[in-house]
Structure 1
Amino acid sequence: MTRDERAAREKDEKTSGRGTGGRPRDPAIEEAIIRATRKRLIADGYAQMTIGDIVADAGVTRPTLYRRWASKYDLVVDALAYGFTAQREAYPDIDMDELTAVEAFREAVRRLDPRYHNAGAMALHGNFMAEADRVPGLLEQLREHGVGPRCDELMNTLKGLQRRGEVREDADLETVVTLCFGSYFADYLRTGQPGAGVADRVVGSLWPTIAVSTHCNEQ
């Protein structure tokens, strides 16, 4: 939608009365604002990001934004939810029946990459960690809705492999999940690269330590 088209819709909202009593439900305008917010979060960080920049990028007015979101924080929470939903919808559940044990482990580790379906995610994580003392709710949102579901998927995969007798019963799965997730940040900080091959290297190192001996050679 062009800037002129959005302006026309804003005018319609005002004249029709849809702009009162809550957020107008024009998906195109909302999505333009959400996308502009996500880009500004990555480029500027939460503290430096301004409503003025967002409305300019989205091609809307401040009243249009504030009819939908009461504050910058509320807007960012919805912008995060938008991204989390897109990530969850980007891939199906891991099919444990179609994959070997190590293939299922590798796929779950691959999906841990914060940049999976969001190339700017490392900057986003860094920005929110920097704001942890001032705006702790942002990091909690990221932890609960972004990090948590990814780590849960790996944990559930490992527990499923345990039930199938392919992962050792005494394996410390919590530590395995932490090591796998943290490997992407360590690799990024060491190399600054996109992270190609991290899942293969991590699984190659960890699988022999957690697999039941008869499955150790499944690579």
Structure 2
Amino acid sequence: MSKRTTAAAEAAAAGGRPRNPAIEDAIIDSTRELLATKGYSAMTIGDIVADAGTTRPTLYRRWPNKYALALDALRYGLRKQREAYQPLNLDRLSPREAMVEAVRRLDPRYHNPRAMTLHGNFMAEAERVPHLLAQMRELGNQPRCQELTDVLTELQQRGAVRTDVDIDMVVTLCFGSYFADFNRYGGDVPADFAERVVATLWPALATE
């Protein structure tokens, strides 16, 4: 059964009953898909409820407006992405392996192949809806980059990374490499991409 059929059935059965998570999931899924394919400004509440197989009153009982729904859809996707990661244990990895794993986790496409399109759409809205891109930075980009910052800082403290390294710039270069790769080649990121990024940078970072 499709998400639209499921959501419609749940909505019909729900009536005055407590909220049904299946309906909310269908609305969030539809919003995420439409944000990537149509963009925030072009996406309408009508599009969302039609795709999710539900109704406007059902949606508005949960979210006051399109912006609040878009933020919840963004938070949902980012939370699922973070939950997909295994804990990063530096004691079980060599310094270079730890950096490779942290760089791999910078990829916006991890667990969401449409993430680059979503980023592009949010950047395109920077003039019309600046808070949307700000939320992407706060909820997605900064936490993702912070993990690499923390890893490199810890490696510095352990003596594996030089103390004069500009960690913030290294993180920016690593994060930006994924966008550069997508803009140059498109498609999925190569399996060895993080290793190649670190192989290029590591000689300038390592103490030995």
Alignment TM class, shorter chain as reference: over 0.9
1:1-219 correspondence to structure 2 within 5 Å:
3=4, 5-14=6-15, 16=16, 18=17, 25-196=19-190, 197-213=192-208
Which residue identity is paired with 1:161? L
Distance in 2 (CA, whole Å) between partners of 1:5 and 1:105 is 43
Which residue identity is paired with 1:9? E
SS of 2:90's equivalent?
Answer: coil
Displacement of 1:8 in angstroms is: 4.4
Displacement of 1:165 in angstroms is: 0.6
Distance 1:13 1:193, change over 3 A: closer
Distance in 1 (CA, whole Å) between partners of 2:138 and 2:6 is 37
Check conservation: 2:7, 2:52, Cα contact below 8 A: no
Displacement of 1:4 in angstroms is: 5.3
Displacement of 1:6 in angstroms is: 3.5
Aligned to 1:217: none
Distance 1:97 1:59, change over 3 A: same
Check conservation: 2:10, 2:22, Cα contact below 8 A: no
The structure with more radius of gyration: 1
SS of 2:91's equivalent?
Answer: coil
Distance 1:6 1:124, change over 3 A: closer
Displacement of 1:194 in angstroms is: 1.3
Distance in 2 (CA, whole Å) between partners of 1:85 and 1:193 is 23
Task: Count matched residues.
Answer: 206
Check conservation: 1:183, 1:198, Cα contact below 8 A: no
Distance in 2 (CA, whole Å) between partners of 1:4 and 1:46 is 25
Displacement of 1:12 in angstroms is: 4.3
Q: Give per-residue Cα distances to partners, 1:147-177, cap 9 Å, x unaligned.
A: 1111000000001111111000010100000
Displacement of 1:195 in angstroms is: 1.5
Distance in 2 (CA, whole Å) between partners of 1:170 and 1:4 is 58
Check conservation: 2:31, 2:70, Cα contact below 8 A: yes
5+ residue gaps, structure 2, are none
Check conservation: 1:102, 1:207, Cα contact below 8 A: yes
Percent of paired sites with the same residue: 60
Distance 1:6 1:184, change over 3 A: closer
Structure 1 ranges of 4+ moved more than 6 A: none
SS of 1:25's equivalent?
Answer: coil
SS of 2:106's equivalent?
Answer: coil
Q: Give per-residue Cα distances to partners, 1:37-79, cap 9 Å, x unaligned.
A: 0000111011111111111111101111111111110100000
